[in-house]
Amino acid sequence: MIRRPLRVTARLAPFFITLALILAACLPASEATELPDTPPPPPPSGQTRTAAQGTYYVRPLGGSPAQCTGLVDADYPGSGTVQPCAWDHPFRAFPPDGTAQIAGGSALIIAYGQYQMGYGAPGADACEADGAYACHMPPIPGGPAPGSPTRILGAGWDTGCAVPPQLWGTERATMVLNLDGSDNIEVACLEITDRSGCVEDHYHGLGGSQYTCVRDTPPFGPWAAVGLYAADSSNVYLHHLDIHGLAVDGVHAGRLSDWTVEDVRIAANGWSGWNGDIDDADSNSGTMTFRRFTVEWNGCAETYPGQQPVGCWGQQSGGYGDGIGTGETGGHWLIEDSAFLHNTSDGLDLLYVHGEGATITVRRTVARGNAGDQIKTSGSTHIENALAVSDCSFFEGKPFSNFAEGDSCRSGGSAVAFNLHTGDQATLINSTLTGEGDCLLIAVCEQGQCDGSESVTLRNNILYGHTDWYQPEENTCYYWYDDRVLPSDLLDISYAIIQDVKSPPEPCPPNSQCGISPGLANESLDAFDGHLQEGSPAIDAGTAAGAPATDIERRPRTAPPDIGAYEYGEWEPSAWLYLPAITRRAAFLAAAGLGIGQ
């Protein structure tokens, strides 16, 4: 687990661990659909099982299909065949180089434990050492309908998922979970990782590095390329997943439709977090929903078992580094209560979302410490209650960084970048932007496809500049747009506080305050905290027109609302906005006497 440093002293640590335990214990049970009814009895001894719909179980002390039916959540008794007990490994349900042994619409419940996924694992008898990269499960069979999904669930999925089972890839497995062509799927309460601190093809243009994975001859070591792969997949629900430390991508997925991702962390994967650029066409459709989604430290290797970032690299060295990025795609993208932190390129990169009806909505989201743009969008976009802190030189000089010249503040390092097509409307409401890139906010006409009907509307925002990292003789600018193809009246801004920026607007925008401190809890870039202090000029200075009902931490806004992402009032440490699930899990593991990697 990558631990972001909290602004909490060691003296207060017991308090927060206790609070985390209380919060987790109070979590309501999942409201997911009920498990299927009791399946038919197992076949008589000696007969081959055919895939049937039902509820199946995996336990570390279960048995093979010859020993256990898989239909009962119990250990193998030690003798006998076709006993009423669980299987010993997920490969029993999804054998490599084979077909699924459970039917679509079934549930597979995996007990707590560590399950090796790849060559040498139980059920991987068909795999060969030289071709170990292909030793992974076949596609999970889809459920018969959206309301009857196939479900892959870690035990505890319905009680808060305090301690999920671990699936760890090994011997260069191409993927751990396979959703290629899988529709109507639910995957929940799993830790997906490997047990190596290597990155595939790390520094490949320079002959490799100490973090480069072995991939030419076996044994390859305990690493896997991708945590979850998906293509041509619709109606999928991912929740309570911790996908970290893979050698390439946490998720590699495209041509998706109507996916929902909630309470998922994707961290410290060697190339990127969520890579939406797959072979051939990539375009997604329907609604792509992400809630309580934490994407951090991607573009870095992750040590094992310490789970700390090392070997962080960017695109100038041949890497990638986006937290989330896509190929050309449509769809309605909804991101709420999420965080994009310390990725080695852009944090949230939705540059290629466009096409008829495509939209992007971002609410209550933090993006900071990413080496490129913090939030980059395309097409019709609405952002509200965002904190975008573009300390884009974060990785410079860090002992865990292998950055080359040009990796820091890549592509300008904007806090927010709008990329517009013909007629696109972009809005930024009640947000707080700061940074050291070239500009805090930019608007670009993507591929020259603009006709003057485009617009960018800003209301109730704080724009706070700092020294430009590339040009330290000046500060970052507050706004730039491509005046060659975009209209001169593109920006409609009012009810703003603008401070310490290069070329401040003259005159100051309507109902705005320029050249005045917004009165924040911490205005330094390294420790920026956008909470308002008593006496802040942002308090009650906004307009209620178009303002959200709550702030970034879901506190009610007054009328008139405050300017910026935070409404004035008492507040908890801001890290709890986007790290509660991680902290809860660590606290439960400690209480159970278990280490993170156990």
Buried-exposed string 557-581: b where 16+ CB fall within 10 A, e elsewhere: beebbbbbbbbbeebeebbbbbbbb
pLDDT > 90? residue 30: no
Q: Which domain holds residue 484?
A: 330-593
d(C-alpha 508, C-alpha 506), whole Å: 5
Average pLDDT over residues 359-376: 99
Strand partners of residue 264:
241, 293
Position 25 confidence tier, pLDDT thresholds 50, 70, 90: very low
Average pLDDT over residues 124-145: 98
End-to-end C-alpha distance for the chain, whole angstroms: 12
Overall number of domains in the chain: 1
Phi, psi for 108 (deg, rounded to 5): -115, 115
Regarding predicted confidence, which is higher, 467 or 591?
467
pLDDT of residue 570: 79
Going from the C-alpha of 177 to that of each of 31, 62, 89, 227, 325, the distances in angstroms are 24, 21, 14, 6, 20
**% of the chain with per-residue pLDDT over 70:** 87
Q: Tens digit of pLDDT for each residue in 208-253?
A: 999 999 999 999 999 999 999 999 999 999 999 999 999 999 999 9
Lowest mean pLDDT among 96-110, 139-153, 265-279, 399-413: 399-413
pLDDT > 90? residue 3: no
Q: With respect to residue 410, please indicate whether it lies within any of the assigned structural domains.
A: yes
pLDDT > 80? residue 21: no
Average pLDDT over residues 50-75: 94
d(C-alpha 564, C-alpha 552), whole Å: 9
Phi, psi for 52 (deg, rounded to 5): -135, 150
**Taking each helix axis from N to C terminus, what angle separates 580-591 and 13-25, rounded to the nearest 10 degrees?**
100
Q: Tens digit of pLDDT for each residue in 311-321?
A: 999 999 999 99
pLDDT > 70? residue 131: yes
Q: With respect to residue 118, please indicate whether it lies within any of the assigned structural domains.
A: no
pLDDT > 90? residue 46: no
Task: Give the gyration radius of the chain's Cα atoms.
Answer: 25
pLDDT of residue 52: 67
pLDDT > 90? residue 391: yes
Average pLDDT over residues 302-306: 97
Highest-confidence range of 41-45, 225-229, 580-584, by mean pLDDT?
225-229
Q: With respect to residue 470, please indicate whether it lies within any of the assigned structural domains.
A: yes
Look at residue 592 and give its three-state secondary structure. Answer: coil
Look at residue 393 and give its three-state secondary structure. Answer: coil
pLDDT of residue 347: 98
Regarding predicted confidence, which is higher, 325 or 583?
325
Which residues 6+ apart lie within 8 Å of 213 measured at CB? 172, 196, 198, 199, 200, 201, 202, 220, 221, 223, 247
Angle at 439 between CA 433 and CA 443, to 5 degrees: 90
Average pLDDT over residues 405-414: 94
pLDDT of residue 50: 54
Look at residue 388 and give its three-state secondary structure. Answer: strand
pLDDT > 80? residue 16: no
How many whole angstroms from its chain centre is CA 93? 28
For residues 152 and 104, the answer to whether their CB atoms sit within 8 Å is: no
pLDDT of residue 577: 45
Q: With respect to residue 128, please indicate whether it lies within any of the assigned structural domains.
A: no
Average pLDDT over residues 76-86: 98
pLDDT > 70? residue 18: no
User: Mean pLDDT across the chain, nearest whole number?
Assistant: 90
Nearest to 366 by CA among 393, 396, 320, 335: 335
For residues 437 and 417, the answer to whether their CB atoms sit within 8 Å is: no
Query: How many CB atoms lie under 10 A from the CB of residue 403?
Result: 24
Q: With respect to residue 482, please indicate whether it lies within any of the assigned structural domains.
A: yes
* Lookup: tokens for 78: 């030690």
Q: Tens digit of pLDDT for each residue in 468-505?
A: 999 999 999 999 999 999 999 999 999 999 999 999 99
d(C-alpha 518, C-alpha 529), whole Å: 12
Average pLDDT over residues 549-556: 98
Q: With respect to residue 81, please indicate whether it lies within any of the assigned structural domains.
A: no
Q: Kindly report the length of the chain.
A: 598
Q: Which helix (H) or strand (E) is 479 found in, with range?
A: strand 477-481
pLDDT of residue 155: 98
Q: Tens digit of pLDDT for each residue in 156-214?
A: 999 999 999 999 999 999 999 999 999 999 999 999 999 999 999 999 988 999 999 99
Q: Which helix (H) or strand (E) is 21 found in, with range?
A: helix 13-25
Instruction: Give this prediction's pTM.
Output: 0.89
pLDDT of residue 571: 66
For residues 163 and 189, the answer to whether their CB atoms sit within 8 Å is: no
Q: Which helix (H) or strand (E) is 294 found in, with range?
A: strand 285-296
d(C-alpha 238, C-alpha 185), whole Å: 8
Position 575 confidence tier, pLDDT thresholds 50, 70, 90: very low
Q: With respect to residue 352, please indicate whether it lies within any of the assigned structural domains.
A: yes
Strand partners of residue 256:
233
Position 355 confidence tier, pLDDT thresholds 50, 70, 90: confident
pLDDT > 50? residue 580: no
Position 377 confidence tier, pLDDT thresholds 50, 70, 90: very high
Buried-exposed string 204-240: b where 16+ CB fall within 10 A, e elsewhere: eeeeebebbbebeebebbbbbbbbbbbbbbbbbbbbb
Average pLDDT over residues 40-62: 67
Regarding predicted confidence, which is higher, 98 or 50?
98
